[in-house]
Chain A
């Protein structure tokens, strides 16, 4: 990890994760209850949409049952929402009120340790939920193939990317009402990233706009993994998410450094 500036990264981000794990251990009931969310989602689509919609064209060009089309997308959306939720308000609080990061920066830890640690924890937690989601999918029989297990690392990448952007944004927030702006972006991303219907539904002139959404790239990846359809386009999708993650980590570290190391 020597690509990171030596004065700003001590290679101890895992200690920040360890702290979060310790704190979370005390709220394990809340953590477990978070696993219920995907169950509700999946039940809703299985009971309702599945019956009404029937089949859609899947990533391999063949018609697939609607549940199998939408379930990976919901996993992606849940990973995004969870990551944003984890990194916005809690980080804002720790940064502005708890002075937690001031204390951390007085130790060998640098801003990159703080950023990577906190974003890393949001990813760990998100991955735990994704695992639950995939397990529920399997139990409900909407898992199209065993390749679908690859959705877990992909969901982790989605979580990492959005957690890093979420944390970067959290550093700019001055008062809790400003969290609404984040929702204002997250909701359209959730609705229009080919979550509920394929890209081909949009008029050709609008498709590029959908493709601007990082979540779209995450959902495409998830769908392809779910159905075991692999092609070169996947590298593009991964690159978008990795790029977003890198921008978020760097922006977060710079902001934390600028705010606290004055």
Chain B
């Protein structure tokens, strides 16, 4: 992907638009993903993350703007691009008429792999998805998380250079999530470029070198997780928990004690450089929360600030 010594972005979108009828799901976004990078899309439901992912995956033509994937135009070279990328869609679409093993083998055949290659690949990927003991099981008999793992494994069948994962870990238990992070990290070390959407901030912080926050079809922020935190949040956060409904009454009392205050259904969040100091002042003003907590700022706080929504609901 180098031309004249300058490394080209693996994916580049300019003023990218997706319309469904009159509705604009993606409203002119610019993105660039570089070789070997792990790039994340964050955003509330309906932000346009999946619509963007589908355009990059060459299964949804762009309505406007420009898009290049692996240096090619999806409108012209769709099959050639798809041959070199792996896609894990938001919703599993496994072949319910086939077994676990057959799902991997048949999918590999679609990429032009030989029978011997897909046989070998299926064994390796079932190992990866920890489904070796279910090799001959019907897909319908798998649990939700197992299906998810199989879908992710299937996306690797062609040894993709670029892997698109739309909410890969939704429905996975904590152990499976950590395992997947580990596997994704190793893929990244091998030079595979990752594009991930997620609703889990810890996942984004762990995996992504760089991410964008989308809201209402637009990109509202962009940067590395730490840069976003320092730009959009304070160093520390003081959480004051109250009985449900009482938190709003205390809002006025804590005024001026923090750079910014967020009111959640059961909590007040005070954004400040020094959480302990703020807590002392809060107590001095006679505010008595049910419990309190001082913590580091996370992407979650950035998200809350930018989109006005919490993620875990």
Enumerate chain A interface residues (CB-CB to B < 8 A).
6-7, 10, 12, 15, 18-19, 22-23, 98-100, 102-110, 260-262
Q: How far is the CA of A99 from the CA of B93 in the complex (A)?
A: 6
- State whether A262 and B20 are in contact (beta carbons under 8 Å apart), knowing that A99-B91, A106-B57, A106-B89 are contacts in the complex: yes
Residues of B within 8 A of A100 (CB): 93, 95, 97
Q: How far is the CA of A179 from the CA of B265 in the complex (A)?
A: 52
Residues of A within 8 A of B60 (CB): 261-262
Q: Identify the closest chain A residue to B75 (Cβ).
A: A7
Q: For A18, give its contact among B57, B83, B109 (CB under 8 Å).
A: B109
> Are A109 and B110 in contact, CB atoms less than 8 angstroms apart?
yes
Q: Identify the closest chain A residue to B106 (Cβ).
A: A19
Q: For B97, give its contact among A6, A12, A23, A102 (CB under 8 Å).
A: A23
Taking A7-B79, A108-B80, A110-B78 as known contacts, 10 extra A-B pairs with beta carbons closer than 8 A to each other, sorted by chain A number, are: A18-B109, A19-B95, A23-B97, A98-B93, A99-B93, A103-B94, A106-B89, A261-B60, A261-B61, A262-B60
Q: How far is the CA of A262 from the CA of B55 in the complex (A)?
A: 9
Residues of A within 8 A of B158 (CB): 107
Q: How far is the CA of A102 from the CA of B94 in the complex (A)?
A: 10
Chain B interface residue count, CB cutoff 8 Å, equals 30
> Are B76 and A7 in contact, CB atoms less than 8 angstroms apart?
yes
Residues of A within 8 A of B112 (CB): 12, 108
By CB atoms of chain A within 10 A, which of B59, B77, B110, B112 has the most? B110
CB 8 Å contact bits of B50-64 with A (1 = contact, 0 = none): 000000010111000
Q: Judge if B96 is at the interface, Cβ distance under 8 Å.
A: yes
Residues of B within 8 A of A15 (CB): 106, 109-110
> Are B77 and A18 in contact, CB atoms less than 8 angstroms apart?
no
Residues of B within 8 A of A105 (CB): 59
22 A–B contacts, CB within 8 A, in A order: A7-B79, A12-B112, A15-B106, A19-B95, A22-B102, A22-B106, A98-B93, A99-B91, A100-B97, A102-B89, A103-B93, A103-B95, A106-B57, A106-B82, A106-B87, A107-B107, A108-B79, A108-B112, A109-B110, A260-B59, A261-B59, A261-B61
Would you give the shortest CB distance from A28 to chain B, in whole angstroms? 14
Q: How far is the CA of A105 from the CA of B128 in the complex (A)?
A: 24
> Are B20 and A22 in contact, CB atoms less than 8 angstroms apart?
no
Q: How far is the CA of A7 from the CA of B60 in the complex (A)?
A: 13
Q: How far is the CA of A10 from the CA of B111 in the complex (A)?
A: 10
Residues of A within 8 A of B110 (CB): 12, 15, 104, 107-109
Residues of B within 8 A of A19 (CB): 95, 98, 106, 109
What is the count of residue pairs linking A and B with beta-carbon distances less than 8 angstroms? 69
Q: Identify the closest chain B residue to A257 (Cβ).
A: B61
Would you give the shortest CB distance from B69 to chain A, in whole angstroms? 13
> Are B82 and A107 in contact, CB atoms less than 8 angstroms apart?
yes
Quick one: which of B105-132 are within 8 Å of A by CB? 106-107, 109-112
Q: How far is the CA of A166 from the CA of B141 in the complex (A)?
A: 32
What are the 8 A-B residue pairs with the smallest beta carbon separation, nearest first? A99-B93, A107-B110, A108-B79, A103-B93, A108-B83, A10-B79, A23-B97, A106-B87
Q: How far is the CA of A23 from the CA of B105 in the complex (A)?
A: 13
Q: Identify the closest chain A residue to B155 (Cβ).
A: A106
> Are A98 and B82 in contact, CB atoms less than 8 angstroms apart?
no
Would you give the shortest CB distance from B144 to chain A, in whole angstroms? 16
Would you give the shortest CB distance from A109 to chain B, in whole angstroms? 5
> Are B83 and A7 in contact, CB atoms less than 8 angstroms apart?
no
Q: How far is the CA of A223 from the CA of B144 in the complex (A)?
A: 55
Residues of A within 8 A of B79 (CB): 6-7, 10, 108-110
Residues of A within 8 A of B77 (CB): 7
Would you give the shortest CB distance from A254 to chain B, in whole angstroms? 14
Q: How far is the CA of A103 from the CA of B109 in the complex (A)?
A: 13
> Are B106 and A18 in contact, CB atoms less than 8 angstroms apart?
yes
Would you give the shortest CB distance from B48 to chain A, in whole angstroms? 14
Q: How far is the CA of A260 from the CA of B91 in the complex (A)?
A: 14
